[in-house]
Structure 1
Amino acid sequence: MKKVHSVLLEAEKIKDWMVEIRRDFHMNPELGMEEFRTRDKIVEYLQEMGIEYITGVAGTGILGIIRGREDGKTIALRADMDALPIQDEKAVPYRSTVPGKMHACGHDAHMAVLLGAARILKGKQEQLKGNVKLFFQPAEETVGGAKPMIEAGVMEEPRVDAVLGLHVTPEIPAGEIGIKYGQMNASSDSIKIILHGKSSHGAYPQDGVDTIMMAGQVLTSLQTIVSRNVDPRSSAVVTIGTINGGTQGNIIADKVELVGTVRTLDSDTRSLVISRIEEIVTKVAEAMGGSAQFIREEGYTALINTDKIVDIVKANAEKVLGLDKVHVLKQASLGVEDFAYFAKESPSAFYRLGCRNYKKGIIHDAHYCLFDIDEDCLVIGAALQVQNVLSLLEEEQWSY
């Protein structure tokens, strides 16, 4: 019989406590920058554990810190706090009690894992050579709380040497994890295209400049960016999600608005795609006798893991869970994750924590009204984060 790793046993002892925390958060979800009850509950738990903390970080964010017995590195662990505007349709006792709001992306689990890891690490405080920072971050799903937390100084005094994050995923069974070297998540940009033409009666199209036709040409031309301008070995997505224009079926439309998103995995491709969109939009409009406005709103940066830190996470997971429980992911996600801003500041690793369980019917994707997790994953997440911190605080394990 395989011997169970000691840190897994420690996490198993507090499983019921973590489940209780997760279910409380799940029943009381709050949207980004509205996480007031969530903040207050986290503060209660930190106070009960005797962990030093600061509130009001980037709004509803919290910074906790566990100071070791002597100086050393500082490792940060991050959990996001916000829920989504989705109606919870699950038939479970811990179903959301707030109409139209739900933890449909697992942030309730992330907070429970971080509090579990904090409890175990607090018990080892006298053994720690260095510090552990706890980032409870608001608004990952909306405006992004990571960058404001960094601007508020959470990476300094003491300076964070490495930062770790995780995200539950139903793509992987509970008890297993997925790691990714290098590029983990894409960058994002929101785009708005406003086409201007000239209105006229539909019976006399020669007197107008038709922005409906112009929009059709723009849409067709935008599809050539990925297929003909982006290196096939790179990745990019250009999606137009809404199109609005016109007032009557017999009137040539003088204005059309298109709104979409761009996803890329590296800065060069990002610049190329944005440049080509603006060029196509402007020149197609001019060629058809109209004009165009192109508005770009820069979103999250790409999340790029540090290979040496991923190596440590991989080694720990193989030791704690077993070799067959660790999956090396080959492809990056074109979804975005604002942990990327922490990753830009310090060496980092962000990994996937499996939460699927077919036997329990836990099979639904995130951002869906039936999303749930196998709560056994809370034990796995807490244990791994503790072991990762302990390894990273050992001087001989890595250096930068």
Structure 2
Amino acid sequence: MNEMLEKARAIEQQIIADRRCLHQIPEVGVYTPKTAEYVKQRLGEMGIEHRDCGVHSQEDREKMVFAGYPDAPTSTGVVGLIGKGEGPCILLRADMDGLPMEETTGLDFASKGNTAHMCGHDAHAAMLLGAARILKDMEEQLPGTVKLMFQPGEEMGYGSRTMVEDGLLENPKVDAAMALHVGPQVEVGKLTYSPGVASGAMATFIISIQGKGGHSSEPQKTVDPVNIATQLCSALNLLIPREVDPEAFATLTVGALNGGRASNIIPDTAEIMVSFRTLSPEAYDHLLQRIPEILDHYVKAWRGTYSVRVLKTPSTVCDRQFSEELVPFVGQVLGEENVLPAPPMKGAEDFGHVTRLVPGFYAFMGAGSPEGYPLHNPNMVLDESAFALGSAILANCAVEWLKKHAGQ
């Protein structure tokens, strides 16, 4: 048995206990105070140096409230350090926020109320705590530094950015970063990764159009914001079929159009919410440029004014060289035959805020079976035997990568 897996099996019950405790206190968004406090308490018990990490701008705070999310006075990320702060530095990341939904699994430790850990982030945090215990016990032998990243707000698409902006990647400087995600429909003992682009990029535009309301019998005295909104929707829906390479995966959706409450009143305001997703970095950059251009021209053409709030999440990218280094280290735990490349997922993953700045590796680790319920389903259940594997993978990759790069 691999040494790290042996160490992880020895503390398996603690990893499971951590996961069950976190499972019962799910919190949504970048403000997860109970979860962060639990993580800090456990790191303190292990003697691991740690600090709060995360800045939440007033602009981001207002965007989230406007989009219907709970107010978040601050970002509650936590960073831990293991090692002497010298030599190469690898970052291990776990997200720890939940979802605004009810759980219906019937588990003894199921969450109550209208928030739940149906994306497995509780398991991610527990696995990283397990890896932290292993790494702390061998701290004197580490030929470098391991930085532990416990992040809130992944489901919001920007929780990792709040930590990056608060110096996550500095002091010591991070050289490479790794993250695992549990897969409830992937067999335990398997791991898949996507060389290159690993997840879709996403951007959401929340557009408020200001017109001039009036009576429907005198439209010439008004500026109709509903007319502007519908024209804008039609124009934006032409962007992908006319300006994006047909070979690229890209979708654009107008998910909300609101304005007016009566047929004989031209309202003062209207609002639309537009989002796009793509696996193409070129399409991502193009759409980020073109949507504001079309918005500006169409609204002004019909004599309106507007304000726009933009939420962006770049693609997570598996750096090819870094991935080639880590895959054998994962194979030492799972067996080389169980580590497989796979197509990128079309959903967004905000680890991209990290991988755009340092080489990264992101992978799905089996924690169920193909017959299981998927992520974000209220009945999703994870196989707890997978968690020790996750801790072992994180610890083994950190130690072996540090050894490989020591003295460079």
TM-score w.r.t. length of structure 1: 0.86
Q: CA deviation at 1:358?
A: 5.5
The counterpart of 2:40, out of the listed 40, 43, 47, is 43
Q: CA deviation at 1:206?
A: 7.7
**Contact in 2 for aligned 1:86/1:368 (Cα 8 Å):** no
The counterpart of 1:158, out of the listed 172, 175, 188, is 172
**Count of residues in correspondence between the two structures:** 389
Could you tell me the percent identity over the aligned residues? 32
Q: Deviations over 1:65-111 (max 9, x none)?
A: 1115x9421111111122222112221101013x1111121110011
Partner of residue 6, structure 1: 3
- Structure 1 unaligned regions, length at least 5: none
Rounded to whole Å, the distance in 2 between the matches of 1:160 and 1:211 is: 48
**Contact in 1 for aligned 2:186/2:370 (Cα 8 Å):** no
Q: Deviations over 1:316-364 (max 9, x none)?
A: 2233212332221223x332222222223322111112222367xxx22
The counterpart of 1:15, out of the listed 12, 15, 39, is 12
**Contact in 2 for aligned 1:81/1:137 (Cα 8 Å):** yes
Partner of residue 365, structure 1: 374
The counterpart of 1:311, out of the listed 324, 342, 361, is 324
More displaced, 295-304 or 223-232? 295-304
Rounded to whole Å, the distance in 1 between the matches of 2:407 and 2:323 is: 11
Corresponding residue SS for 2:110: coil
Alignment of 1:125-204 (within 5 A): 125-142=139-156, 144-195=158-209
Rounded to whole Å, the distance in 1 between the matches of 2:144 and 2:12 is: 26
Q: CA deviation at 1:237?
A: 2.2
Rounded to whole Å, the distance in 1 between the matches of 2:107 and 2:246 is: 46
The reply on whether 1:270 has 2:284 as its aligned counterpart is yes
Partner of residue 251, structure 2: 237
Q: CA deviation at 1:136?
A: 1.4
Rounded to whole Å, the distance in 2 between the matches of 1:5 and 1:302 is: 33
Rounded to whole Å, the distance in 2 between the matches of 1:244 and 1:294 is: 15
Q: CA deviation at 1:388?
A: 0.6
Rounded to whole Å, the distance in 2 between the matches of 1:256 and 1:318 is: 54
Corresponding residue SS for 2:88: strand
The counterpart of 1:28, out of the listed 21, 25, 28, is 25
Corresponding residue SS for 2:313: coil
- Is the alpha carbon distance of 1:203 and 1:89 closer, same or farther for their aligned partners in structure 2, counting shifts above 3 Å? same
Rounded to whole Å, the distance in 2 between the matches of 1:139 and 1:27 is: 17
Rounded to whole Å, the distance in 2 between the matches of 1:80 and 1:74 is: 20
The reply on whether 1:257 has 2:261 as its aligned counterpart is no
Q: CA deviation at 1:149?
A: 2.0
Q: CA deviation at 1:239?
A: 1.3
Partner of residue 83, structure 2: 67
Corresponding residue SS for 1:82: coil
The reply on whether 1:337 has 2:337 as its aligned counterpart is no
Corresponding residue SS for 1:393: helix
**Contact in 1 for aligned 2:54/2:165 (Cα 8 Å):** no
- Is the alpha carbon distance of 1:53 and 1:344 closer, same or farther for their aligned partners in structure 2, counting shifts above 3 Å? same
The reply on whether 1:96 has 2:111 as its aligned counterpart is yes
Q: Deviations over 1:203-262 (max 9, x none)?
A: 677876655455444333322211110112333221111111122134455643211212
**Contact in 2 for aligned 1:187/1:336 (Cα 8 Å):** yes
- Is the alpha carbon distance of 1:286 and 1:118 closer, same or farther for their aligned partners in structure 2, counting shifts above 3 Å? closer
The reply on whether 1:117 has 2:114 as its aligned counterpart is no
**Contact in 1 for aligned 2:87/2:406 (Cα 8 Å):** no
- Structure 2 unaligned regions, length at least 5: 56-74
- In the alignment, residue 64 of structure 1 is paired with which amino acid? G
Q: Deviations over 1:45-71 (max 9, x none)?
A: 222222222246544222211115x94
- In the alignment, residue 18 of structure 1 is paired with which amino acid? I
Rounded to whole Å, the distance in 2 between the matches of 1:145 and 1:274 is: 20
Partner of residue 297, structure 1: 310
- Is the alpha carbon distance of 1:135 and 1:296 closer, same or farther for their aligned partners in structure 2, counting shifts above 3 Å? same
**Contact in 2 for aligned 1:391/1:397 (Cα 8 Å):** no
Corresponding residue SS for 2:100: coil
- Is the alpha carbon distance of 1:205 and 1:101 closer, same or farther for their aligned partners in structure 2, counting shifts above 3 Å? same
- Is the alpha carbon distance of 1:44 and 1:61 closer, same or farther for their aligned partners in structure 2, counting shifts above 3 Å? same
The reply on whether 1:83 has 2:98 as its aligned counterpart is yes
Corresponding residue SS for 2:156: coil
- Is the alpha carbon distance of 1:254 and 1:32 closer, same or farther for their aligned partners in structure 2, counting shifts above 3 Å? closer
- Is the alpha carbon distance of 1:73 and 1:196 closer, same or farther for their aligned partners in structure 2, counting shifts above 3 Å? closer
Rounded to whole Å, the distance in 2 between the matches of 1:345 and 1:130 is: 20
Rounded to whole Å, the distance in 1 between the matches of 2:118 and 2:199 is: 19
Rounded to whole Å, the distance in 2 between the matches of 1:191 and 1:208 is: 25
- In the alignment, residue 76 of structure 2 is paired with which amino acid? T
Partner of residue 364, structure 2: 352
Rounded to whole Å, the distance in 2 between the matches of 1:344 and 1:386 is: 23
Partner of residue 49, structure 2: 52
Alignment of 1:374-385 (within 5 A): 374-385=383-394
- Is the alpha carbon distance of 1:157 and 1:290 closer, same or farther for their aligned partners in structure 2, counting shifts above 3 Å? closer
TM-score w.r.t. length of structure 2: 0.85
- In the alignment, residue 264 of structure 1 is paired with which amino acid? T
Q: CA deviation at 1:271?
A: 3.4
The counterpart of 1:222, out of the listed 236, 242, 248, is 236
